[in-house]
A and B are shown apart, each in its own frame.
Chain A
């Protein structure tokens, strides 16, 4: 019996019913937007504040004269190698393999960086010698001041290949 009466009521007031249906829909949508609007800035702002401030300062790492041509100096805490190329140029090469992010190791015998994960190989200037890596190792800005090799650790620079313009000369 109750069912019948509601049916009649519905028929009596179709526009009111439609209005409320729409209203609830809009309120639900607003609630969804609010929740998303709350959570996305919540997560991203917390992350931004936790990040270290990026600075443009250069850190002294090793005297240039300590590094004969064709040798590398591992700077573990900065996760990079300072490389003295055979033509006299210097490069700060990242330790992170461009394939999947393992740390490459310098192999003194082969004169190559070798990644332990998938056996990618890179020459002393970071160029890919053996896949699966597809691009050269990242580099960091480097300068030589008063015989000291200094590196800006704040930002690695991505590159596809090695070229001469990336080198710094003493």
Chain B
């Protein structure tokens, strides 16, 4: 038995502290993400036996898969649900690492960067897979999102042309996306995953939380202590996914029609917060400037000057927990108010009709929001006197809640013509 464990003991240290295998610390999120990636490889390879990446054949090949191939619908459901859950779990894993400050240099900063890259790859993978069915949903979602890139100054239009392989979403786009989805991204993921695991192992496992008791200070053997827990999480996840996939069919709309957009067209759910921002900002600001700024902040995160290294403590400290909570509450109240205000009362473009839209729809809303954000920071500093560690946690909690509210608005409160309405007023 011990001999068969050699492989696992390459991934895990021989002994780990009891505190670091507490389930409610990591929730097994990284492991679940890795398992789902492997499952996506498996179901994806199965689907490749049936799918044909040509605009004239793609839609029919999926109909054939669903109606003629034994377990075809089921395998597609698992692949679709797996992709959705993968984004969610990878994101939660990223959140766990962020909110427990497990990104400090020199030990964990590199892995933070690799993790961010893998998360972006997963989004890209999910998005390229979105086009495969070649139905109305996928065709128009991809049209809208690839068009967002054209607002990058100078290189934008060329980049959109390169991604699409032409001026419109066509067979060349499908070929591009298929190649990325089934070869380039999976290969890159395998390499980065290996690197990621190796660096966790080098760092001595997860950033350990502070032990709660004398008992938690003890070291225990990885096998069975850690390995059995991982197996339980893995099997529970698989059972959950396989059962859900029986009941929940992957979406399939009408065949793609380039001459007719459905109403409304919505981006994939993980991009829908960005789409909601486009309702309120000039496209350069909403689709490029804000997302790139937030990404830049995340990549730079480990090298901000922190007074303390509080790795392993949720939200850095009890005060950090408090300011993060307050920030999330402020964002929860402020964001819907601003969405409604912008929809009905704030019309910079009508008030300043002579100014170019990059000023009236870009600069003015950014300055307006910037002032509110500054007031919020001022309030935090005056009221709670947080240090840099805690401020970073708070700001991130603020934006996380903002993006969540934006996404929920786009998903459930936007009807035909992207008008703001109640969920029950929107026909399914």
Contacts and interface: CB of A to CB of B under 8 A. Distances in A.
Contacts of A115: 261
B263 interface: yes
Nearest to B419: A119
Interface string A42-54: 0000010011000
B278 A132 contact: yes
Nearest to B282: A134
B260 interface: yes
A117 B165 contact: no
B265 interface: yes
A100 B283 contact: yes
Interface in B394-428: 416-419
Size band of the A side of the interface? 20 to 34
Given A50-B172, A131-B357, A134-B357, A116 B144 contact: no
A102 interface: yes
A102 B419 CA distance: 16
Contacts of A101: 143-144, 146-147
Given A47-B165, A118-B279, A79 B258 contact: yes
B146, B172, B283 — most chain A CB neighbours (10 Å): B283
B419 A99 contact: no
Interface string B325-365: 00000000000000000000000010000000110010000
Contacts of B258: 79, 103
B282 A117 contact: no
Contacts of A102: 140, 143-144, 261, 265
Interface in B124-167: 140, 143-144, 146-148, 165-166
A114 interface: yes
B296 to A, nearest CB: 24
Interface in B269-290: 275, 278-279, 281-283
B204 interface: no
A21 B140 CA distance: 53
B259 interface: yes
Nearest to B276: A118
A47, A76, A100 — most chain B CB neighbours (10 Å): A100
SS class of chain A's interface: helix, strand, loop or mixed? loop
B361 A132 contact: yes
B417 A114 contact: yes
A77 interface: yes
Interface residues of B, number: 31
Interface in B197-242: none
A105 B143 CA distance: 17
B144 A117 contact: yes
A124 interface: no
Contact of B143 (A51, A100, A114, A134): A100
B418 A117 contact: yes
B262 interface: yes
A103 B264 CA distance: 11
A79 B172 CA distance: 19
Contacts of B357: 131, 134
Interface string A75-115: 01101000000000000000100011111010000000011
Contacts of B144: 100-102, 117
Nearest to A160: B356
A162 to B, nearest CB: 15
Report the 10 A-B pairs with minimum CB-CB distance, sorted nearest first: A116-B263, A102-B261, A101-B147, A100-B147, A117-B265, A100-B144, A103-B261, A76-B259, A134-B357, A101-B143
Interface of B: 140, 143-144, 146-148, 165-166, 172, 258-265, 275, 278-279, 281-283, 349, 357-358, 361, 416-419
Given A118-B275, A119-B417, 6 more contacts: A47-B166, A79-B259, A99-B147, A103-B258, A105-B263, A134-B283
